[in-house]
Amino acid sequence: MPLHYLDWRVMKPTVLIVEDDLLFKTHFADAIAHAQDFRLIGHADDLQSGRQLLRKLMPDVLLVDLGLPDGNGLDLIREAARTLPQCEVLVSTVFGDEKHVLASIEAGATGYLLKETRGPELVEQIRVLRKGGSPISPVIARQLLMRMAPEPSTSISMDLLSPREIEVLRLSTKGFNFDEVATLMGLSRHTITTFVKRIYRKLHVHSKTEAIYEARKLGLTLH
């Protein structure tokens, strides 16, 4: 596979592109080549060529796809992190799932963009990267924030409702009426209605549907 590289004697932050899709590679190359504050020093369309150019040109920024014809872009990210710690790695890919995002970050990527990113925006994100930021597509950022959000705690519900009140609520969720709940729990219907009144009062509701909704908001699993 022929290697393509450009003269990089001009002292500007240098960018290497490793991308096998000709349309995207051309799109990215044109955007970077027209930027006044960066220098495009080369591009490769597979992992092997990317490795050779990474070692030869030692770029300041590596723009890399994950799905390459002869391997995974993660391998190139790891090599850049190991041999060129000063090199910023920006992933540009179609993979927006959590598995690929986290794997890229763990490998050493400092930015993660989906390929919907347009040329001028891509250049701006590289500027953000060079200033110490970590550019990331909004949809990916949302996924990461949701992943990092704490799991709903059941402690409030467990403290608020007694075990028997919780059991009444669980059985009601499954569609059992008060008489059936009483039979299943071995209690009188009067006792069950007393539990129900307590549940409504504690949850500040007036119906079974509202009680189930509020209990789930508090994190209680009623399956």
* Residue whose C-alpha is closest to residue 64's, from 98, 21, 8: 21
Q: Is the pLDDT of residue 175 over 90?
A: no
Ranges 29-38, 83-92, 137-146, 200-209: which has the least confidence: 137-146
Ranges 47-51, 136-140, 150-154, 182-186: which has the least confidence: 150-154
The pLDDT-based confidence of 153 (bands split at 50, 70, 90) is very low
Q: Is the pLDDT of residue 1 over 60?
A: no
Q: Is the pLDDT of residue 155 over 50?
A: no
Mean pLDDT of the 27-34 span: 92
The tokens for 51 are 């490795």
Q: Is the pLDDT of residue 90 over 90?
A: yes
Q: Is the pLDDT of residue 152 over 70?
A: no
Position 8 scores a pLDDT of: 43
Q: What is the 3-state secondary structure (H, E, C) of 166-223?
A: HHHHHHHHCCCCHHHHHHHHCCCHHHHHHHHHHHHHHHCCCCHHHHHHHHHHCCCCCC
User: Which domains occur in the chain, in start order?
Assistant: 4-148 (3.40.50.2300), 155-217 (1.10.10.10)
pTM, two decimals, is 0.62
Q: Is the pLDDT of residue 149 over 80?
A: no
Mean pLDDT of the 84-90 span: 94
Q: CA distances (Å), 211 to each of 80, 115, 165, 187, in order?
A: 55, 45, 11, 21
| Contact by Cβ (8 Å): 62, 104 | no
Position 210 scores a pLDDT of: 81
Position 4 scores a pLDDT of: 53
Q: Is the pLDDT of residue 146 over 80?
A: no
Mean pLDDT of the 4-29 span: 81
